[in-house]
Structure 1
């Protein structure tokens, strides 16, 4: 399918298709609000995802990702982001530009401390951090954020 011909598309569900590559021409979907490419074989995400200004829900869970491109933070309408089930080592700082992000799911494969600053994720209501190895982690949030923040932390050996 040529995405250039689907400019009015609002939801794209490509889960469970063994997709290995998501092309940069995803940028040709300016009205896309939901993108689900979960349970595929993606090893990286196109930087063009940052050009999707209407994107509200992004599900890239259960792929082969080890990083999230910095450009994801340019998709500032993002509310829900699921990148669990990958081998993510860190989140890009630019994710703090997504002021409405309130639902984040991630597994971390890193020996480094993972910090969530209140000014970066202002409206976070639901956060799942799953540490695949029992590494140290730290959550920092303002009292206002802590009141609204439900944190589920699971450590696996």
Structure 2
């Protein structure tokens, strides 16, 4: 099925599991196409703030209940999850989950790999970014811009970032 507003949409397991990029830009025509596929669950690997910060129309919010999954910062066995309903849509049988991989445990793990002087620099940079966001009320926009290059540092690369997601965000992985 061809979707104009869903980049990279494709079947992973035909009839059961699909993947795509940002669902917040979906058009009314593509909402109908998604409904015809019987999709009832969306798992979004962004934070709710990232999603809400987008200026896209977010038409799926009318039909999918928006839920944020927050895992404990430690590696839980089994996971202790806190489900927080942020906003309810008109259909309770359809859910849009937001699973956050970048939590306190993730930051601690990434920082532990850095030399002490870089740890201090990173912590001060993050505090400054948080203060700027607080004063300007930018909903974490500046902090996200500062955090991304720190997390995917040139010395480690994207492969290491994805490995860190698996190694350091176990609680979030169980939530998904």
Both proteins in one fold, TM over 0.5: no
More strand by share: 1
Q: Which interval holds the TM-score relative to the shorter structure?
A: under 0.3
What TM-score does the superposition give when structure 1 sets the normalisation length?
Answer: 0.28
* Structure 1 or 2: more helix by fraction: 2
State TM-score, norm by structure 2. Answer: 0.26
